[in-house]
């Protein structure tokens, strides 16, 4: 150890606030960057999944449900 006591380690002969402020800002920003990157990857995967499910739901609905109106020619007697 380069310091005699824990309090000497914290104060660093009066340079403590400068040193610790730097390290705090460094780790907070680095952590935010890492967490942000993990989250945005998870978010894009989630939004893709929703998109694919929406597509398959739509095609299922289109395949199964009966058409609400039909456009077949109806022969109405004219006389």
Judged by the rule CB under 8 A, the positions of this chain that interact with other proteins are: 1-3, 9, 12-16, 18-19, 21-23, 25-26, 29-30, 33-34, 37-38, 40-41, 44-45, 48-49, 51-52
Between 52 and 59, name the residue whose CB sits nearer to other proteins: 52
Burial annotation 23-62 (CB, 10 A radius, 16+ → b, else e): eeeeeeeeeeeeeeeeeeeeeeeeeeeeeeeeeeeeeeee
Q: How far is the CB of 67 from other proteins (least distance, A)?
A: 28
Distance CA 13, CA 16 (A): 7
Q: How far is the CB of 30 from other proteins (least distance, A)?
A: 7
């Amino acid at each position: 150890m380069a310091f005699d006591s824990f309090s000497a380690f914290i104060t660093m002969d009066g340079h403590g606030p400068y040193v610790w402020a730097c390290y705090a800002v460094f780790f907070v920003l680095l952590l935010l960057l890492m967490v942000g990157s993990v989250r945005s990857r998870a978010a894009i995967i989630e939004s893709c999944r929703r998109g694919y499910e929406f597509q398959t739901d739509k095609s299922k609905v289109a395949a199964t449900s009966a058409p609400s109106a039909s456009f077949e020619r109806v022969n109405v007697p004219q006389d």
